[in-house]
Chains A and B, each alone.
Chain A
Amino acid sequence: MSAITMVRQFGEVLLAIALAPLFVGWIAQCRAWLQSRTAPPLVQPYRMMRKLFQKDVALAANATPLFRITPYVLFGSMVLAAAIIPSIATDLPFARVADAIALIGIFATARVFQSLAAMDTGTAFGTMGARREMMVGFLAEPALLMVLFNAFLLSGSTALPSVVEAYSAGPLSINPSLTFAGVAFVMVLLAENARIPIDNPSTHLELTMIHEAMVLEYSARHLALIEWASSLKLFNYACIGFALFLPWGIATHGADGGWALLLAAAALIAKLVVFGAALALIESLSAKLRIFRAPEYLATAFLLAVLGLLVHLLLGS
C-alpha cells in the first residue's frame, strides 16, 4: 500500500462527499425543468445544509443516545461505502474490505439504525416510517442480490474492482442478462433511495411518506448529516450501477496515472449528469404507487433480475 494509493483513496472519498449533494441538486433541477418550474440552483442542498448546521438542535425529551449517534453512524457508513465502491479507480486500498454483497450489508446497517432511531421518540409517524422502510428493505434485498448474482456469473466475482476489471478486459456487447439486471437495478435504486414510485423525496403529506417520516424528529446538524448521508446513499447506488453496468472510464489497476484519474473523474461526472437527468425523467413520468403496490413493483425487479440469471444460464452468453 503506497502513499499514492492512499491519496487516491482519500481523493475519491472526498470527491464522493462533495459531489453527492450536487447530484441530488442536479436531479432536483432536472425535475423542475421537466415540470416547467423555475429550477433551484445546483448548490441548493449545500445551502440547506449550511443553514441547518448553524441552528440549535431541538431534541425530543425522551430521545436516547441511540437517537443522537444515528446521524453519525449513517453518515459514517455511507462514507465508508463510498470508500469501497470504485467510482474512479479500482486500485483502492479500502476496496477489498467489502464486496458488493457486504456493501448491501453496510446499507442494511444504516437502514436498521435509521429505523431504530425513528422508533426512539415513540411518535406515530416515526414508527410508521420505520416499518415501511424496513418493508421496502426486505422486498428490495432479494432483487438486489439477484442483480449481483448476474454480475458474478458474467465476471466471476462479487468484488466491485474485479467486476470492473473483468468487464474492461473483455469486449463489450449488448448482453441480455446484463440488460435485464440493469433495469432491475434501477428499479431497486429508486425504491431504496426513497424516490418515486415508492416514496416521494419532496412530499410533505404525512401519511404517504417513508423516509421523511423517519427523520421528522431530527433537526439542525443531525438533520444535515442525515440529508447528506441520504444523498451519499443515492450517489453510492449510482456508482455501484456504473461499476456493474457502465464501467467505461474507471481507471483500472496499472493504468491509473494522473491523467487517467482526471479522465475517470470526468467520465464519472458525465455519467452522473446523464443518469441524474434520466432519473428525473423516470420520476416525472411515473406516479407514486400505493404502499401495498410496492411488493408488486419490487417483485417485478426481482423477476427481471432472475430472468437475467436464467437467460444467462440458458444462452451461456
Chain B
Amino acid sequence: MPHSNHWIVPSLNLLASILLLISFAMLSRRRTQRLITLFAWQGLVLFTSTCLVAYSSGQKEMYYSAGLTLMLKVIALPWILHRLIQRLGAQWDSELLVNIPTTMLVGLVLVIFAFGLAQPISRMATTITRNTIGIALAVIFLAFLMMITRRKAVTQVIGFLAMENGLFFAATSATYGMPMVIELGIALDLLVGFFILGIFFFQIREQFDSLDLSHLEALKEE
C-alpha cells in the first residue's frame, strides 16, 4: 500500500457515519425537497469517500466510478428530481404511514441488525474500510424502511436511489468497488429505471390526480 492510512481510516469512518446520519435524516424529513437535497449530500459524501479509498488503495478505476457518482448522483439526478417535483407540484409534505419517532426507533433496531450481520463479513474482508460494511448495510436497510413508510411515489424513488447508494458503498468498502463494466451497467440501469419511473409518475398522476400510492390499492382484484 503506497500511502500510510493513519488519517485515512478515521476520515473514512467519519464519512461513513455521516452517510448513516444522512440516511436517518432522510427518514425523519417530511418535505420531499429536503429529501432530494439530502440525497445529493449523500452522493457527495459517497464521492469523497470513494476518492479517499481510491487514493489509499491506489486503484485508478475507482476515480472513474467516483466521477460517475458525482456526475450522476450529485448533479444530474437531484436536478432532474427537482424539476420533476416542480412539474408534478409534489414538493411539499409527504404523508407518513408511521410517526417519526417510531420509524426512527425501528431504524435503530435495523442498524443494530445490520451491524451484527456485518461483523462476520468484515472479518473476512481485507480492505482498510472493512469496518464500514455494517454502515453500508444499514444505509440499505434504512432506505428500504423509508420506502416502506412513505406514501408518495417520488419519495419511494428517492428511497430506491438511496438504496443504490448503500449498495455502492458496500461494494467499495468490501472489495474496493466492482469492476468498471458492472459499475457502468448499474449506472445505466439506474438512469433507465429512473426515467421509466419518471414516466410512471405522470401516468399515475394523470390516472388518480395525485401521487399518493394508496390509490394503487384500488387496483387489486376484488
A and B in contact, CB less than 8 Å: yes
Which residues from chain A sit less than 8 Å from chain B, CB to CB? 173-177, 179-180, 295-296, 299-300, 303-304, 306-307, 310-311, 313-317
Are A296 and B24 in contact (CB-based, < 8 A)? no
CA distance A311 to B101 in the complex (A): 20
> Is B28 an interface position by the 8 A CB rule?
yes
Q: Find A307's partner among B17, B105, B118 (CB 8 Å cutoff).
A: B17
Q: Is the CB of A179 within 8 A of B135?
A: no
What's the least CB distance linking B41 to chain A, in Å?
16
| Inter-chain contacts of A299 with B (CB < 8 A) | 100-101, 104-105
On whether A307 and B111 interact (CB within 8 A), knowing A176-B14, A300-B28, the answer reads yes
User: Can you name 16 A-B pairs with beta carbons within 8 Å?
Assistant: A174-B10, A175-B10, A176-B14, A176-B17, A176-B18, A180-B17, A295-B101, A296-B101, A299-B104, A306-B108, A307-B17, A307-B108, A307-B111, A311-B16, A315-B131, A316-B131
Return the contact of A300 from the options B9, B104, B131 (Cβ within 8 A). B104
- Contact (Cβ within 8 A) A303 B108: yes
Q: Judging by beta carbons under 8 Å apart, are B20 and A311 in contact?
A: yes
- Establish whether residues A313 and B108, one from each chain, have CB atoms under 8 Å apart when the complex forms: no
CB distance from B38 to the nearest CB of A (A): 14
Residues of B in contact (CB 8 Å), total 27
Contacts of B28 in A (CB 8 A): 296, 300
Residues of B within 8 A of A179 (CB): 14, 17
Complex Cα distance, B16 from A174, in Å, reads: 13
CB distance from B101 to the nearest CB of A (A): 4
Complex-state Cα separation, A176 to B112, whole angstroms:
17
Instruction: Confirm or deny: B134 has a beta carbon within 8 angstroms of a beta carbon on chain A.
Output: yes
Does the CB pair B10–A314 fall under 8 Å? Answer: no
**For residue B115, which residues in chain A have a CB less than 8 angstroms away from its CB?**
310, 313-314
